[in-house]
Amino acid sequence: ANGARLKKLCEEQSINSCISNAEKEKEKKISITGGGFGGGPQQMPHCAPTYAAVLSLCIVASLGLERKSKKDHPYRAPGRRAMEVLTKRRLQLYAYFLTLRERETTDDSHEEGRTAFRMQHDGEIDVRASYCLLAPCYLLGLLDTNNDNNIDNNNPLQRPSISRHIASCQTFEGGFGAEPSNEAHGGYTFCALAALRILGSVSAIDVGALSGWLARRQMGFEGGFQGRTNKLVDGCYSFWQGGAVAVLDGWYGDNIVDDGDDEEEGDSTTASMTEGGSDDASKTTTTTSKEKKKSSSTTELSYDEIMLQRYILLCAQDVNGGLRDKPSKPKDFYHSCYNLSGLSVAQHALVSWPQFKRSTPSTSSSSCADKDDEEEKTSSGGDDAKEGKEESYNRLWGDVSVNIVGRTDPVINIRVERVKFMLSQW
Catalytic residues: 185, 228, 231, 234, 236-237, 325, 332, 335
Answer whether 353's CB lies under 8 Å from 37's CB.
no
Number of Cα atoms under 13 Å in the Cβ half of residue 364:
9
How distant is the alpha carbon of residue 60 from its chain centre?
A: 18
Question: What is the identity of the amino acid at 372?
Answer: D
Whether residue 410 is preceded by a cis peptide bond, meaning omega within 30 degrees of 0, is: no
